[in-house]
Chain A
Amino acid sequence: MSSLYERLGGENAVNAAVELFYRKVLADGRIARFFDGVDMDDQIAKQKSFLTMAFGGPNRYTGLDMRNAHKKLVAKGLNDSHVDAVIENLNSTLRTLGVPEKEVKEVAALADSVRADVLGR
Chain B
Amino acid sequence: MTPLLTYMDRPVEIAPGETVLEALLRAGIDAPSSCRTGNCQTCLRRAVQGTPPAESQNGLTEAQKAMGYFLPCICRPSSPLNVAPPDDAGARLPATVRSVEALAQDVVRLRIETEAFPYRPGQFLKLIASDGLERHYSIASHPEEDPFLEMHIRLHPGGRMSRHVMEIAKGHRLHVAGPLGTCFYEGVDKDQPLALIGAGTGLAPLYGVLRDALRQGHRGPIRLYHGARERKGLYLREELEALARARDNFDYAPASLDTGGDLAALALEAETQRASRTAYFLCGGENLVKRLKRDLFMSGASMKAIRSDVFSPASL
The interface stretch among B36-44, B215-223, B249-257 is B36-44
Q: Are A49 and B303 in contact (CB under 8 A)?
A: no
- Residues of B within 8 Å of A59, CB to CB, are 35, 37, 39
- Residues of B within 8 Å of A41, CB to CB, are 303
Q: Are B297 and A48 in contact (CB under 8 A)?
A: no
| Given contact pairs A26-B294, A48-B59, A69-B34, A19 touches B302 in the complex (Cβ within 8 A) | yes
Q: How many cross-chain pairs have Cβ atoms below 8 Å apart between A and B? A: 47
Residues of B participating in the A interface, judged by any CB pair closer than 8 Å:
34-37, 39-42, 59, 290, 293-294, 297-298, 302-303
- Beyond the given A14-B39, A49-B35, could you list 18 further A-B residue pairs with CB under 8 A, ordered by the A residue number? A19-B303, A22-B297, A23-B298, A26-B294, A26-B297, A26-B298, A40-B290, A40-B303, A45-B40, A45-B59, A46-B40, A49-B37, A49-B40, A52-B35, A59-B37, A60-B35, A61-B35, A69-B34
| Given contact pairs A23-B298, A26-B298, A40-B297, A52 touches B39 in the complex (Cβ within 8 A) | yes
Size class of the A contact interface (CB-based, 8 Å): 20 to 34
Q: Which positions 1-38 of chain A face chain B at CB distance < 8 Å?
A: 14, 19, 22-23, 26-27
Interface-central residue, B36, B37, B42, B293, by most chain A CB under 10 Å:
B37
Interface-central residue, A23, A49, A69, by most chain B CB under 10 Å:
A49
22 contacts between A and B (CB under 8 A): A19-B297, A19-B303, A26-B294, A26-B297, A27-B298, A40-B293, A40-B297, A41-B303, A44-B303, A45-B39, A45-B41, A45-B42, A46-B40, A48-B59, A49-B34, A49-B39, A52-B35, A52-B37, A52-B39, A59-B37, A59-B39, A69-B34
Smallest CB gap from A40: residue in B: B293
Smallest CB gap from B300: residue in A: A23
- Residues of B within 8 Å of A45, CB to CB, are 39-42, 59
For residue B196, give the distance in angstroms from its CB to the closest CB of chain A: 18
For residue A50, give the distance in angstroms from its CB to the closest CB of chain B: 9
Bound: A46/B293 CA distance, A: 17
- Residues of A within 8 Å of B40, CB to CB, are 45-46, 48-49
Q: Which 8 A-B pairs have the closest CB atoms?
A: A45-B41, A49-B39, A49-B40, A48-B39, A49-B35, A60-B36, A44-B303, A58-B37
Bound: A14/B37 CA distance, A: 14
Smallest CB gap from A27: residue in B: B298
| Given contact pairs A19-B302, A40-B303, A45-B59, A60 touches B297 in the complex (Cβ within 8 A) | no
For residue B125, give the distance in angstroms from its CB to the closest CB of chain A: 22
- Residues of A within 8 Å of B294, CB to CB, are 26, 40
Partner of A23, one of B42, B59, B297: B297
Bound: A23/B59 CA distance, A: 19
